Amino acid sequence: MTILSFRVVRLLGCLGGALLVAQLALAQRTDPVPDTPTPALDDITERTVVAEHRVLKYQPIREADILWEKRLWRVIDTREKMNLPFVAPESPLFTIFSEAALDGDLTVYSTEDDHFSKPLSQEALNGLLYKIDTVVVWNMDTDEEDIQVVRTDINWEDVRRFRIKESWFFDTNTGTLRVRILGIAPLIDVRDENGDFRFEKPLFWVHYPTARPLLAGHKVITPGGNYSTTTSWEDLFEMRYFASSILKENNVQDLRLQDYLAGTDLLLQAERIDDELFNREHDLWSW
């Protein structure tokens, strides 16, 4: 065998080896990736009734059919027994609102007014739901103090009250006194540097008619103990399955009850407004 033929054989052998390595590498890349284990079902069956629930649109109302109307602002205190579903760890209302707003599935509005006139940007929303602070920590490697930036999320347990704006009106088309919720706002305590309570403020406003589809897809943990119930948050508000106290009624000076009443007088006036409201329908039909 000549030197030229030997070199040709060696070159062909190298090319064959390279092709073999390439095929092995390609086979390794095309091998199917092992499937990740499917999460175990923490239930006895798939629950889809609430998730697939769709809300019915409100019946249109003509302005000419509204004979009488009153705007009320109420406060829902989650520490009352009837309002415990608002802070059930499995499905707290504030978590539903905040997660949907951060994901872009729900538009929330500024608390500069309660007319839903100024939608909050994502940056402004992050500033409300997250608190940025700096802490001093000891670095064991450099044996010196370092400053770290820490982000603290608002805990849903810190939201103990919700404000509701609603409209009560007499519909001449149906001859009934009706109510529709217009907005919901979570309230949070503002404290000073010593941890002492200063005042309470709303974080943002949620336009309830727009949020109905979102609320209809989330289950309420009811206090009855029946886990198979399919009551949604939209059902809870439409059935008015909550306890509340009146904060304000529409008036010329736009005053809250606490601006001119206190103590027992404040409670009695709130009850008096409720009584007048529920007697309104009877008075309109009596002659």
Q: Spell out the per-residue pLDDT of the chain, length 287, in tens.
A: 455 455 555 655 565 556 655 565 555 554 455 567 778 888 888 888 888 888 889 989 999 999 999 999 999 999 999 999 999 998 899 999 999 999 999 999 999 999 999 999 999 998 888 876 666 666 677 766 666 666 677 888 889 999 999 999 999 998 889 999 999 999 998 887 777 888 889 999 999 999 999 999 999 998 888 888 889 999 999 999 999 999 999 999 999 999 999 999 999 999 999 999 888 777 776 55
pTM: 0.80
Report if residue 151 sits inside a domain. no
Half-sphere exposure of 193 (CA within 13 A, CB side): 0
State the total domains in the chain.
Answer: 1
Report if residue 221 sits inside a domain. yes
Report if residue 278 sits inside a domain. yes
Report if residue 262 sits inside a domain. yes
Whether 248 and 74 have beta carbons less than 8 Å apart is answered as no
Report if residue 4 sits inside a domain. no
Whether 182 and 197 have beta carbons less than 8 Å apart is answered as no
* Number of Cβ within a 10 Å radius of residue 18: 10
- Domain extent at residue 104: 63-129+156-285
Whether 69 and 168 have beta carbons less than 8 Å apart is answered as yes
Beta strand 176-191 with 161-171 is antiparallel
Report if residue 89 sits inside a domain. yes
Report if residue 199 sits inside a domain. yes
Signed CA dihedral, 59, 61, 66, 70: sign only: positive
Report if residue 145 sits inside a domain. no
